[in-house]
């Protein structure tokens, strides 16, 4: 039980830090607060609701991972290096693809209702 409490404390600390320091995470968090209830209201059935909600929740998850990559690269060295740039660019690309995935899923499901 102590391990679970410790893990929850670490997770909460990570969320607080991301919220305080990362404007993209705050923007995506606000988007999530709006879109998540809409996912349950607009989705017809469990599968649609899960797809709509899941793609919305995936965005801040990937943003957190991207931020972790950026922090790690910066911790190793602030010196400009092509591999550091590539790692950061790939993290950013992962966020972009997650946004595209959410957009496609939402459009596909919502357009099928009309």
Active site residues: 63
78: DSSP letter = -
Structure tokens at 36: 């998540």
* Closest residue by Cα to residue 65 from 85, 95, 101, 20: 95
Helix segments in 1-114, DSSP class H: 2-21, 23-42, 45-76, 82-112
């Amino acid at each position: 039980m102590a391990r679970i409490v410790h893990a929850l404390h670490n997770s909460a600390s990570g969320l607080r830090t991301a919220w305080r320091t990362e404007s993209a995470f705050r923007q995506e968090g606000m988007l999530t607060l709006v879109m998540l209830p809409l996912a349950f209201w607009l989705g017809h059935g469990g599968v649609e609701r899960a797809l709509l909600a899941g793609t919305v929740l995936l965005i801040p998850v990937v943003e957190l991972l991207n931020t972790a990559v950026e922090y790690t690269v910066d911790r190793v060295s602030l010196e400009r290096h092509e591999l550091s740039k590539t790692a950061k660019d790939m993290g950013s690309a992962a966020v972009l693809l997650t946004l595209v995935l959410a957009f496609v899923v939402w459009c596909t499901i919502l357009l099928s209702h009309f």
